Amino acid sequence: MKKTAVLALGGNAIIKAGEKGEISQQFANVRESLTGIVRLIAQGYKLAITHGNGPQVGNLLRQQEAGEKEGIPMLPLGVLNAATEGTMGYMIEQSLQNMLHKEGIERQVITIISQVAVDKDDPSMKNPTKFVGSTYYSESEAHKLKEELGWSLKEDSGKGYRRVVPSPYPIRIIPAQRIKQLVELGDIVIAVGGGGIPIYIDDEGCFEGADAVIDKDFASMLLALNIEAELFVILTGVEKVVLNYGKPDQKNIDRMNIAEARKYYEEGQFPAGSMGPKILAAIDFLEKGGQEVLITSIEKIVEAFNGKTGTRIVK
């Protein structure tokens, strides 16, 4: 076997911009996204796969809102995270298993619904800032939702008000040891989807759900550390990380170290809503013992693994 790697897929790889998210579209997108990953598996890499769930959990939230008007009780966000881990894990697992079967590759694919512990006193729990859902509300609607449902809402880019929730830092992946064992055996494990199901551990050592969303890049980084992966791969919408994005002097980055990555981040090169969390997760991974981070697009994953493209971040 070659290196062990964690591959972090973006949720937009499964529901693309402008799509309604019909299940046939999602399955087609999953199969397209997995083509390069199958080639890596054929080369002998040990892999764990994580995924985002932004569009998917956003759709579930809209369904919850519609159902609430009909008297159907709304489910908390943690339960919706669990639901997307199941549905998206099913799509990825089945599609990947079928593709491996057609290639004659005998590797098992397993989805693990993953609880991820956070600190119940994390500052973000009292200061929610992460936008969830795709619905925009007027100021009066936002006030009503706050009064009736206890939601926190904030104005978003002049488009209206959106719900915001806490985004605490992950501190422990509950099934991490079992995931590590399975990956070492050669199984392909799908885990911590959408950042995992946020929980906290009470004074008696029991698990309790938290109404929050864990950033999937940080959860994926923690998983990579927990299973001792040599390589943490963040798959996003661009082939390489760039400086001065969208400007005439835009510049691709082939390689940078921790100091350079932090410098560019502090200069504002990587916005919080896009590349920023990915760069911070990369820095965390390397500072906590990881060896290498690769950022590239899903379409270029094989070329990037072979050193022909992508951005590598090292110590």
pLDDT in tens, 64-117: 888 988 999 989 999 999 999 999 999 999 999 999 999 999 999 999 999 999
| Cβ proximity of 252 and 202 under 8 Å | no
Active-site choice (3, 12, 120, 146): 12
Query: Which of 72-86 are b and which e, b meaning 16 or more Cβ less than 10 Å from the residue's Cβ?
Result: eeeeebbebbbbbbe
Active-site choice (59, 226, 278, 290): 278
Q: Could you tell me the pTM of the whole model? A: 0.93
pLDDT in tens, 14-23: 888 778 888 9
How far is 1 from 44, CA to CA, in rounded Å? 5
What pLDDT does residue 124 have? 94
Active-site choice (194, 216, 226, 310): 216
130 counts as catalytic: yes
Average the pLDDT over 203-230 and give the result. 96
What pLDDT does residue 1 have? 56
CATH superfamily of the 4-116+173-314 domain: Acetylglutamate kinase-like (3.40.1160.10)
Active-site choice (10, 11, 78, 193): 11
300 counts as catalytic: no
Percent of the residues in the chain that have a pLDDT greater than 90, as a whole number: 81
How far is 80 from 63, CA to CA, in rounded Å? 11
What pLDDT does residue 135 have? 81
144 counts as catalytic: no
226 counts as catalytic: no
Average the pLDDT over 250-265 and give the result. 97
Active-site choice (130, 146, 240, 300): 130
How far is 285 from 278, CA to CA, in rounded Å? 11
pLDDT in tens, 108-160: 999 999 999 999 999 999 999 988 887 889 999 999 989 988 889 999 988 99
pLDDT in tens, 265-307: 999 999 987 899 999 999 999 999 999 999 999 999 999 999 9
Closest CA to 48 of 169, 207, 205, 225: 225
pLDDT band at 40 (very low <50, low <70, confident <90, very high): very high
Query: Which of 239-270 are b and which e, b meaning 16 or more Cβ less than 10 Å from the residue's Cβ?
Result: bbbbeeeeeeeeeebeebebeebeebbeeebb
What pLDDT does residue 281 have? 97
**HSE, side-chain direction, 13 A CA sphere, residue 131:** 16
How far is 200 from 12, CA to CA, in rounded Å? 28
Predicted confidence (pLDDT) at residue 256 exceeds the cutoff of 90: yes
Predicted confidence (pLDDT) at residue 12 exceeds the cutoff of 80: no
12 counts as catalytic: yes
Instruction: Map out the domains of the chain as residue ranges.
Output: 4-116+173-314
